[in-house]
Structure 1
Amino acid sequence: MSQAAYFVFTVDVHDPDGMQPYQAQVAQTFPPYGGKLIVAGGALQAIEGQAPRGKIIILQFPTVEQARAWYDSPQYQAILGHRLASAAGDGLLIEGCAVAV
């Protein structure tokens, strides 16, 4: 059994036009690394503390190693600059529970 891994991003877009190249290409970058999108925005309720600004994006990968390989991949790095220039936010890599692969 290996540990699943999750990338959790908070994204507050300040330049929607600048985000378009990123948004048009990002979904095709994570499947080769076993990644899948499990949360993309949606209604958010702060139960404790304050809700982050913008949207929450959560990606699931089979392992931390595959998650890092996706993030560091030439395909993702080629478009990452569009997001960084067009939005503020945070990115967290979290090791999850054991899953069968």
Structure 2
Amino acid sequence: MSAPAYLIVEMNITDMEQYKQYMAAAPACLKAYGGEYVVRGGRHETLEGDWQPHRVALLRFPSYAQAKAFYEEGPYAEVKKLRQGATEYFNMVLVEGVAAPV
């Protein structure tokens, strides 16, 4: 069994009306690659350090390869254009998770 993978995203939305178009289109792309939202906005607070994200999202995929394919190969390439100009910043990192013990 391969380890899951996670996309960790921090963003600052500056045009919510435009960003809503992206929010409406992204879930279908995510689902097509076996992904799901674990966190999509919501309440958060910094407990240690000086990281002060405006908004955080966490997406889970069955594998690192599926997460990469979602980002690089599929319809998401077009969907991500919907958020251009709607955020001050949009940072995304892909990290491999821990395989569940057998």
TM-score for both structures, normalised by structure 1: 0.89
C-alpha separation in 2, matches of 1:42 and 1:81: 23
Q: Return the offset for 1:3.
A: 1.3
Using the TM superposition, name which of 56-65 and 70-79 deviates more.
Answer: 70-79
- Counterpart of 1:30 in structure 2 is 30
Q: Return the offset for 1:47.
A: 0.8
Q: Return the offset for 1:36.
A: 0.7
C-alpha separation in 1, matches of 2:56 and 2:96: 17
Q: Does structure 1 residue 95 correspond to structure 2 residue 96?
A: yes
Unaligned runs of 5+ in 2: none
C-alpha separation in 1, matches of 2:79 and 2:93: 18
3-state SS in 2 of match to 1:3: coil
CA RMSD of superposed structures (Å): 1.6
Q: What is the one-letter code of the residue matched to 1:96?
A: G
User: Which structure is higher in strand share?
Assistant: 1
Q: What is the one-letter code of the residue matched to 1:21?
A: Q
Unaligned runs of 5+ in 1: none
The alignment of Structure 1 onto Structure 2 pairs a total of residues equal to 100
- Counterpart of 1:16 in structure 2 is 16
C-alpha separation in 2, matches of 1:8 and 1:57: 6
TM-score for both structures, normalised by structure 2: 0.88
Identity of aligned residues (%): 28
- Counterpart of 1:6 in structure 2 is 6
CA 95–3 in structure 1, closer or farther in 2 if over 3 Å, else same: same
Q: Return the offset for 1:54.
A: 1.7
Q: What is the one-letter code of the residue matched to 1:94?
A: V
Q: Return the offset for 1:81.
A: 1.6
- Counterpart of 2:64 in structure 1 is 64
Which 4+ residue blocks in structure 1 deviate beyond 4 angstroms? none
User: Which structure is higher in helix share?
Assistant: 1
